[in-house]
Amino acid sequence: MFFDSEAWPPAPSGFDPPPPSPRLSAAQERILLRIIAILLIAMFLGPFAGSSLIDVAVAIVRAIF
């Protein structure tokens, strides 16, 4: 393995690499947050309502989509 001790700090010329582009679009991030919210709600309501409430929620989602 080659170790380049001159690789850091960056060159004094002021060249900075461009920042990485976001991996998720705004719409994808919104959908992901909605899925996480639904799963968190199911995690907290599941023990109180039993599995029948989760079955109803799954049936409603399948009927809509």
Q: What are phi and psi of 37, to 5 degrees?
A: -65, -45
28-65 confidence digits (pLDDT tens): 999 999 999 988 988 887 777 777 877 888 898 899 88
- Identity at 36, one-letter amino acid code: I
DSSP string, 31-45: HHHHHHHHHHHHHHH
The pLDDT score that the predictor gives to residue 37 is: 94
* CB within 8 Å of 46: residues ≥ 6 apart: 53, 54
- How many Cβ atoms sit within 10 Å of the Cβ of residue 43? 10
**pLDDT computed for residue 62 by the predictor:** 93
